[in-house]
Structure 1
Amino acid sequence: MKDKKRIGVQMEIDQPYKRHVSVFAGVHKYAREKSDWHLVVDDWASRSILVQPDRPIPFDGIIGRLSSQDIVRAHRRQFPIVNVLFETDEKNTTGVYPDYAACGRLRAEHLLSRGFRNFGTLTSYHSPAHNIESSSFATTVRSEGYPCKGLYLEGPWTVMGDTESNYRRWKRVRKQIETWLDDWQVPMGLFIADVDIARVIIESCYDRGWNVPEDVAIVAGTNEEELCLHPEPSLTSLEIPYETIGYEAARLLDQLIHQSNKSANRRAKEPATKLFLAPTGVVARRSTDFFAIDNELIRQALRYIDVNLHRAVSIDDVANALLVSRRKLTSEFRRHLNRTVAGEVQRLRIERVKRELLSTELTVKEIAERSGFASLRTLNDAFVRVVGCAPRDYRNTALRSEDSS
Structure 2
Amino acid sequence: MAKVPHVALLIETSREYARGLLRGVARYQQEHGPWSIYFEPHGLDDAPPEWLTEWKGDGILARINSQSTADTILSTGIPAVDVRGALPDLNIPFIGVDNRPVAELAYEHMRNLGLRHFAFCGTPRGENPNQDFRCDYFVKLVEQGGQTCSTWLGEQQKQRAHTWEEQQQEIAAWLEQLPKPVGIMTCHDDRGQQVLDACRRADLSVPDEVAVMSVDNDPHLCNLCTPPMSSIDVNPSRIGFAAAELLGRLMQGEQPEQMRTFLGPPRGIAARRSTEMLAIDDGDVADAIRYIREHATEGIRASQVVSRAAKAPSTLERRFKKTLGRTIKAEITRVKLSRARLLLTETEYAISTIAERAGFAEAKYFCEVFRKHHGVTATEYRRRFRDE
TM-score, normalization: structure 2?
0.72
Distance 2:108 2:245 in 1: 32
Write out per-residue CA displacement over residues 89-133 of structure 1, whole angstroms, 9 at most, x where no aligned residue: 436421221112221221111101111000111111133222211
Distance 1:294 1:345 in 2: 12
- Structure 2 contact 10–60 (Cα < 8 Å) conserved: yes
- Structure 1 contact 63–83 (Cα < 8 Å) conserved: yes
- Structure 1 contact 46–62 (Cα < 8 Å) conserved: no
TM-aligned CA deviation for residue 252 of structure 1:
0.4
Write out per-residue CA displacement over residues 305-359 of structure 1, whole angstroms, 9 at most, x where no aligned residue: 67869x9986x45313xx236724637x8xxxxx633334544879x8xxx9xxx
Q: 1:238 to 1:35 in 2, by over 3 A?
A: closer
Distance 1:77 1:219 in 2: 41
TM-score, normalization: structure 1?
0.69
Q: Which residue of 2 aligns with 1:377?
A: none
Distance 2:259 2:123 in 1: 28
Paired residues, what number?
A: 326
Give the counterpart of 2:59 among 47, 61, 70: 61
Q: Does 1:319 align with 2:286?
A: no
Distance 1:45 1:108 in 2: 38
Equivalent residue runs for 1:51-200 within 5 Å: 57-66=55-64, 67-76=66-75, 78-90=77-89, 92-125=91-124, 126-155=127-156, 168-170=162-164, 172-200=166-194
- Structure 1 contact 155–173 (Cα < 8 Å) conserved: no
Q: Which residue of 2 aligns with 1:392?
A: none
- Structure 2 contact 180–209 (Cα < 8 Å) conserved: yes
Write out per-residue CA displacement over residues 232-257 of structure 1, whole angstroms, 9 at most, x where no aligned residue: 31100111211111111110000001
Q: 1:281 to 1:91 in 2, by over 3 A?
A: same
Q: 1:31 to 1:200 in 2, by over 3 A?
A: closer
Please list every run of 5 or more consecutive structure 1 residues that lacks an aligned counterpart in the other structure: 157-164, 261-266, 334-338, 357-364, 372-405
Q: 1:46 to 1:60 in 2, by over 3 A?
A: farther
Distance 2:37 2:153 in 1: 39
Q: Which residue of 1 aligns with 2:28?
A: 30
Q: Does 1:293 align with 2:315?
A: no
Please list every run of 5 or more consecutive structure 2 residues that lacks an aligned counterpart in the other structure: 339-367, 375-388
Q: 1:249 to 1:297 in 2, by over 3 A?
A: same
Distance 1:45 1:178 in 2: 37
Q: Which residue of 1 aligns with 2:208?
A: 214
SS at match of 2:37: strand
Q: 1:48 to 1:340 in 2, by over 3 A?
A: same
Q: Say which one has the larger Rg.
A: 1
- Residue range with higher mean Cα deviation, 143-152 or 87-96: 87-96
- Residue range with higher mean Cα deviation, 122-131 or 71-80: 71-80
Q: 1:366 to 1:273 in 2, by over 3 A?
A: farther
Distance 1:143 1:313 in 2: 35
Q: Which residue of 2 aligns with 1:390?
A: none
SS at match of 1:238: strand
Q: 1:175 to 1:73 in 2, by over 3 A?
A: same
Identity %: 22
Distance 2:61 2:76 in 1: 16
SS at match of 1:85: coil
SS at match of 1:229: helix
Distance 2:260 2:248 in 1: 13
Q: Does 1:340 align with 2:319?
A: yes
Distance 1:303 1:135 in 2: 32
TM-aligned CA deviation for residue 212 of structure 1:
0.9
- Structure 1 contact 7–63 (Cα < 8 Å) conserved: yes
SS at match of 1:223: coil
Q: Which residue of 2 aligns with 1:380?
A: none
Q: 1:221 to 1:272 in 2, by over 3 A?
A: closer
TM-aligned CA deviation for residue 74 of structure 1:
4.0
